[in-house]
Structure 1
Amino acid sequence: MKKTTGLFLILLMTVACTLAETGAGPFLATGIKIGEVDQHSAIIWVRLTENSQRVGNEAPVPEMVYLDEKTGKYAPKKGSSRPNKKPKVIYPEGSDINHIEGATPGAAGRVRLKYRKFGATEWHQVNWTAVEPGKDYTHQFRIKGLGPGAVYELDVQAAALKGDAVTASLTGTFKTAPNKETEAAVNFIVTTGTSYNDKDTGDGYRFYGTALRLDPEFFVHTGDILYYDHYAKTKELALWGWARMYSLPSHIAFQRQIASFFIKDDHDTWMNDCYPGQKTKFMGEFTYEQGTEIFLNEVPMGDKTYRTVRWGKDLQIWMVEGRDYRSPNPMKDGPDKTIWGAAQMEWFKSTVEASDATFKVLISPTPVVGPDREKKKDNHANDGFAYEGGVIRKFIQTQENMVVVCGDRHWQYVSKDPETGVMEFSSGPGSDAHAGGWKQGEVYPEHLYLNVCGGFLEGEVNRKDGVPMLTFRHYAPEGKLLNEYVFSAE
């Protein structure tokens, strides 16, 4: 476990105390997100808001009811079911989309970015730019020319469309990746499944604060960042979901201090087990296409949602897209059925084969090894995509020191494929409240570790007596170490 350095502790204290606002907006109530960081570039996401604070947790939320075509009446659905019925949104009396729990309406205005390497006296500046109302009042600064293996400070500023006054500002910090020749110690955090209703404190998910204490170089959210299924019946409600999640104090504090990579899965694309072209009345006016567009607007993202990042001599990660290129789930399995699509598969194989990183880590939104529940049909550990899953596992088997990290499953595990020996580390969901779907005592032969609980996964690469080591640790949300597995480079 890496200890927090004195330098970074100073930065955390500085960042935590630096949020400036005036009486007039626009404001920065949904914080910033720092993403897609490599040796020389980063993307800084910012959104302007009408108010300086989110609507409080005591405010109501809308109710969803569904049409029974036989009776012509609307009624609530049963449990967690997703009936193929037309929904209707009912707002509590006196409320609307801007006055429900967590609402943080966007606002027109301009943003400016200042950044510098820690310790430098001069700021680099990206001049005032208007946010885009059609993209939820967001803007993504794409900065280049950064130095490798360095700590950078940020100062994001907001202003009205007219006038010179800065109406709000927010500071941040992040680390860039070391060059591929550098033998650098690296640690990173991975989690999945952060449903708003399952957050474990009023300020958001507890694990974010815990993870900060480990001083990670970067963070990967493997998807299901939020769950559209039961509330996002319009595009406007989908956007409310993002504002509600990222206006929480612990989420703002984390995202402004750590470089993040975001992967989407089914629930933060559209709905459970979704695929392009799927039809249902259940999601109302909100479409799959709108979901993919919103994701690109709400997180810092480069040209493609599948990408690879090198982090020093000993680590390279691959993050893949699991929704947009997939075949329909009900399609018969075989060589033509795919989750990744031909272009992504070719990219994956060619970039892995070209890499000379000591350790190679595939980070997938869904399992590649499993085991998974028998009734599941939408990932590479299932019968539904068994052919392509076999292709991926057999390819990984040919690579030295390559493992899989996955999200989606609501329990932590370490498993080893009995046929290929490929190992998979499931991060588990962000909280204990979101854990489930597997029995604690149901241990299969391929399980090396199983725990039906929430928390997160830490990966760490370092060298011991000159030998590269890769260590994975599972944690509980409050920081208790639950499991550790160590690889020595072959």
Structure 2
Amino acid sequence: MMKRLALLLFVSLIVVPAQAKPPLTEGETDPVMLDLDPYMIKALRGNAKNSSPKNPIAPGRFGSEGSIVDLLTEPAFNKLIQKHDLKLFNGPMLGDVTPTSARVWIRTAGPASFHVVVGDQISPTIQTTAENDFTGIAYVEGLKPWTDYTYTIVLDGEEISHPAFHFKTYPTAGTPARYSIAFGSGARYVPTKEAIWKTMADTQPLAYLGLGDNVYIDATERRDVQRLHYYRRMLRREYRDFISQTPVYAVWDDHDMGDNDCAGGPGLNKPWKLPNLSVFQQNWNNPFYSHDDQAPGTWHNFTMGDVEFFMLDGRIYRSDIQDPADTTNTMLGESQKRWLLNSLKQSTAKFKVLCSGTMWHDLADKGGKDSWAGPRFRSERDEIFDLINQERIDGVLLISGDRHRTELWKTDRPGGYPLYEFLSAKVTNMHSHAPRKEAEWSFNEGNFWGEIGFDFAPTDPTVTFKAINQDGNEIKATTFKLSELSHTSNP
């Protein structure tokens, strides 16, 4: 009898889906959020405390596709917009910066036209509409490489400026420059933790990479809830200032695509895939979303001087072990994998950074349950690693998120140089995962982000991994020379 009860308990732990976490509001101090957050939560999410596929929360008063378009039909919401002067509702968000151009994303409170002025350059005028959730992206060209700029938003003829409206264009390849980028995941909206975005902004990273779990939604079939979480995060002052001055590149992971440890499986037959992807695309400012119109996703790549970043989508086509009809063994899906392998071979960057929402190393996860080390995904990971050896691709670095800690992992490879993986995944989350003694170093106290610093002034360029906490203090740091990450030094 006891064995039977234990078996039933074990099965129940496997099949009961994770419940969506309700929005956190305790400790809120931001005056905009104190007014708008409870209003939006009630309108778009309803009053339920949690949700799961078997116990879904009832839609808010606009149904499961509710949005700001519906909110703006209510006089009470419009009064709050006027009170806080939120014609520019979300943004601006910088993205897709190059040595000579930049893109600026905004969301307006209703249909509007806008353009962006950067130095002497003026973008074309963009119209925001209800069909695109009142978002728009302005593209500015003709800028100078490695140059500081301020910018102004001109919204329906009104100039909007702010001290946070500034950025720096990227260096061209071959520039002996020093710069850093920030990255992280595990960024649930937590009112008492949001100050970390100001601390991060003060370090002046040249970009921020969101490796998934950028917001915690966990409501696969609820676009109203998905939009809610983006609205509220981007209304918070510290985050708003951060994305106004720091170009952002993002992919999704489980908590912002669907629910905990979810997998999309092959193809596009699941009805939530394209609608959820559409919400994601409306709320980010990436250079592109997938290279393949027949296999849409969140993956993309971009260059920054002598560094190329490959932002990977490990969810939308990941093999779904819960679906008995899914016999694939892939994290990326065929189209994305082919793009990655070809792009790696063609890259001329000195450093190539593979950016994954989940961990690469065999021991970094809970037995490989939700990472590249899992039995269905290890062979695909090794195919990528083998290509690096076969094509003698130097300067490859790995970064990852998911586990709520920060650490450095080393993967030795016969016939090649070691692959180092920098994990950082507790930007604002409260819950921690235990440190791992098998890592080169591992830490989980407080909140933190990862910083990757590049220095191309020396003949032998360097990369430095730094873990920085919520107070701006350096927790851990490790530096490598490019020559240490090459097949010449590691035959």
Q: TM-score, normalised by structure 1?
A: 0.72
Deviation per CA, 1:210-253, whole angstroms, max 9, x where unpaired?
Answer: 222222111111111111116x7632232121111100000111
Instruction: Kindly report which structure 2 residues correspond to 1:158-237, keeping only aligned pairs within 5 A, or say none.
Output: 158-159=155-156, 165-166=157-158, 172-196=165-189, 198-201=190-193, 205-229=194-218, 234-237=222-225
Q: Does 1:407 align with 2:401?
A: yes
What's the counterpart of residue 253 of structure 2? 265
**1:329 to 1:347, Cα distance in 2 relative to 1, 3 A:** same
Partner AA of 1:295 in structure 2 = F
- 8 Å contact kept, 1:377–1:384: no
Match of residue 430, structure 2, among 414, 419, 434: 434
Secondary structure of the corresponding residue to residue 301 of structure 1: coil
- 8 Å contact kept, 1:64–1:88: no
Secondary structure of the corresponding residue to residue 450 of structure 2: strand
Deviation per CA, 1:120-168, whole angstroms, max 9, x where unpaired?
Answer: xxx3223543202121111111333333222232211222xxxxx5285
In structure 2, distance between residues paired with 1:150 and 1:378: 41
Q: Does 1:134 align with 2:131?
A: yes
In structure 2, distance between residues paired with 1:360 and 1:476: 25
What's the counterpart of residue 28 of structure 1? none
In structure 2, distance between residues paired with 1:87 and 1:428: 28
Q: Which runs of 5+ in 2 are unaligned?
A: 1-30, 62-69, 90-107, 290-297, 484-491
Partner AA of 1:190 in structure 2 = F
Q: Does 1:156 align with 2:141?
A: no
- 8 Å contact kept, 2:299–2:311: yes
**1:125 to 1:273, Cα distance in 2 relative to 1, 3 A:** same
What's the counterpart of residue 102 of structure 2? none
Partner AA of 2:366 in structure 1 = E
In structure 1, distance between residues paired with 2:37 and 2:454: 43
- 1:363, CA displacement in angstroms? 1.3
What's the counterpart of residue 232 of structure 2? 244
Match of residue 84, structure 1, among 47, 54, 73: 54
- 8 Å contact kept, 1:359–1:402: yes
Deviation per CA, 1:371-430, whole angstroms, max 9, x where unpaired?
Answer: 244365333122342221222233345432211011122111111125563221001210
In structure 1, distance between residues paired with 2:336 and 2:377: 16
Secondary structure of the corresponding residue to residue 146 of structure 1: coil
In structure 1, distance between residues paired with 2:317 and 2:279: 17
Bigger relative contact order (CA 8 A; separation at least 6): 1
Secondary structure of the corresponding residue to residue 256 of structure 2: coil
Secondary structure of the corresponding residue to residue 390 of structure 1: helix
What's the counterpart of residue 489 of structure 1? 482
In structure 1, distance between residues paired with 2:53 and 2:343: 42
- 1:194, CA displacement in angstroms? 0.8
Instruction: Kindly report which structure 2 residues correspond to 1:437-456, keeping only aligned pairs within 5 A, or say none.
Output: 438-440=433-435, 442-444=436-438, 447-453=439-445, 454-456=447-449
**1:214 to 1:271, Cα distance in 2 relative to 1, 3 A:** same
Secondary structure of the corresponding residue to residue 414 of structure 1: strand
- 1:470, CA displacement in angstroms? 0.6
In structure 1, distance between residues paired with 2:213 and 2:140: 28
Match of residue 378, structure 1, among 338, 356, 370: 370
Match of residue 35, structure 2, among 35, 50, 56: 56
- 8 Å contact kept, 2:149–2:167: yes
More helix by share: 2
Q: Which runs of 5+ in 1 are unaligned?
A: 1-51, 67-73, 118-122, 160-164, 279-285
In structure 2, distance between residues paired with 1:156 and 1:210: 25
What's the counterpart of residue 460 of structure 2? 467
Deviation per CA, 1:336-385, whole angstroms, max 9, x where unpaired?
Answer: 42121222222222222222322221111221225244365333122342
Task: Kindly report the root-mean-square deviation, in angstroms, between the aligned alpha carbons of the 2 structures.
Answer: 3.5
In structure 1, distance between residues paired with 2:229 and 2:457: 45
Partner AA of 2:132 in structure 1 = K
**1:417 to 1:332, Cα distance in 2 relative to 1, 3 A:** farther
What's the counterpart of residue 293 of structure 1? 278
Partner AA of 1:467 in structure 2 = D
Partner AA of 1:85 in structure 2 = N
Number of residue pairs the alignment of both structures matches: 397
Instruction: Kindly report which structure 2 residues correspond to 1:12-51, keeping only aligned pairs within 5 A, or say none.
Output: none
In structure 1, distance between residues paired with 2:383 and 2:139: 36
- 8 Å contact kept, 2:116–2:151: yes
- 8 Å contact kept, 2:405–2:434: no
**1:113 to 1:63, Cα distance in 2 relative to 1, 3 A:** closer
Partner AA of 2:248 in structure 1 = S
Secondary structure of the corresponding residue to residue 368 of structure 1: coil
In structure 2, distance between residues paired with 1:335 and 1:357: 36
- 8 Å contact kept, 1:369–1:423: no
In structure 1, distance between residues paired with 2:327 and 2:276: 28
- 1:255, CA displacement in angstroms? 0.8
- 1:299, CA displacement in angstroms? 0.8
Secondary structure of the corresponding residue to residue 467 of structure 1: coil
- 8 Å contact kept, 2:286–2:300: no
In structure 2, distance between residues paired with 1:233 and 1:352: 35
- 8 Å contact kept, 1:222–1:265: yes
Q: Does 1:394 align with 2:373?
A: no
- 8 Å contact kept, 1:334–1:387: no
Deviation per CA, 1:280-332, whole angstroms, max 9, x where unpaired?
Answer: xxxxxx9343211101011112332322222223x222111222232324469
- 1:262, CA displacement in angstroms? 1.4
**1:65 to 1:292, Cα distance in 2 relative to 1, 3 A:** closer
Partner AA of 1:367 in structure 2 = M
**1:365 to 1:348, Cα distance in 2 relative to 1, 3 A:** same
Q: TM-score, normalised by structure 2?
A: 0.72
Deviation per CA, 1:447-484, whole angstroms, max 9, x where unpaired?
Answer: 10111232101111114653211101001111121111
In structure 2, distance between residues paired with 1:75 and 1:468: 53
Partner AA of 1:399 in structure 2 = I
- 8 Å contact kept, 1:335–1:388: no
Match of residue 121, structure 2, among 119, 124, 128: 124
In structure 2, distance between residues paired with 1:90 and 1:472: 44
Q: Percent identity?
A: 20
